[in-house]
Structure 1
Amino acid sequence: MSLSGVRALAFDVFGTVVDWRSTIIEEGGRLNREKGLDVDWAAFADAWREEYRPSMDRVRRGELPWTKLDDLHRASLEKLLDEFGVEGLNDAEKERLNRVWHRLKPWPDAVEGLKRLRRRYILATLSNGNVALLVNMAKRAGLPWDCVLSAELARRYKPDREVYLMAAELLGLKAGEVGMVAAHAEDLLAARQAGLRTVFVPRPLEFGPGGAAEAPDPSFDMVVEDLTDLARRLGL
């Protein structure tokens, strides 16, 4: 299948474009050295990510009012610091740790792949990360977005249909003129149901060497190796 008629590519970010797990582990290692801690930051990173979906689902179900992801991350962080027995961090240090999500490092192929894709396509984020988080991340990592779109703008979280339709509307395009690029099948299935085209990018190391790799769905328009492979497949 092809992406004929697609004019813009919208990208999931966490795990698809950036490597959240390794960045958090690296940041935690620095804290261990500076504060004399002995925290298993790989386990901490995994536990923090496990809080991601349940915290957003509480917003989606109306159990919480609209809450941006930075604040959901901070609430999860406070819980996990207690569970892991991490002591001795002041509020500024906790806030810096929480904002590690603003400083996530891109996968090795990401920047080159995006630059090549940008020659033909409008490139936008379509992430559950809030706007400030995504802007700061892009600035630091050199991610060449044309537009930063966030679930925050719809005040809904993916996989709610409204988030995908918002992206097409704000870009002035029909849903079928937008291709959703993600490493997560659920995200792409929801995008497809909203009328977007779909590109699956496997990230087998997202959850570490022992993590389970997601499999693509047969309905996806394209399955590629990484973002440079996507550019190559599209003739860029």
Structure 2
Amino acid sequence: MAVRLWKRISKGHVRVVVFGAGGSGKSTLGKFLAGDDLDTDYRESHHLESYKLDSTTPCTILVPPGQEGLRPKTWSDLQRHIASGRSTTALHVVSWGLDEIHPLRYVDHAAYRPGMTVEEFVAAYTEAQRNEELQVIAALAKHLGNAPNHLSLVTVVTKQDLWWPSRTNVRSHYTSGEYAKHVADLRSHVGDQKFTHQIWSASLVRKNLRDGEHTTLVPVAAGYDDAIRNWHVGRLVELIQAEVDHAGE
């Protein structure tokens, strides 16, 4: 399905820039859209990934590493892609804070406090990671506000299979909560007529969230089946397809 998506593109060189915290699923999304095999084991990326897509028009997805210490080397260049008008489509990958923690043990993470249960750690960890998501979107508002062309932002909420029972809270957070406020700031910087934002969620790889010792932190939600996953994945592909088609006009 993903390969057919890109074959339909017939105009323009489309550059899709992907931002997001480390472990949120950026590389997985890039591989998925390129039709590559998906890894079930997390591999931390330390360099800019470029996915050449098989289409009648050259089309590239640029995925920088999300670790905070690695961002200055690559994010500034990609932000300039948008600020200069070379890219008009950006994907912000978030996960309700359920970012990969591997290879760390959860007890070695900065969010852990002595005596915490796994559940208490997960609550503290995901809150900290959601705050990092806010920092990313705030930085985008700061650096992309002068984009000369129309800017299309798609927020992709991954790990749907893990947070599915909390989907009402997740939807509220990203559509009307703190995250939405930062998107509104970005809109005000770019200009309402030059900015569009869409949001969609999916599970690209269905698996438990585990730490470096394979301790299960968050299991795949009971009742989250293939029908739910396939419908959301299909709609995500359609959404991104429409954005890329428009960018290539």
TM-score scaled by length of structure 1: 0.34
Greater strand percent: which structure? 2
> What TM-score do the two structures reach when normalised by structure 2?
0.32
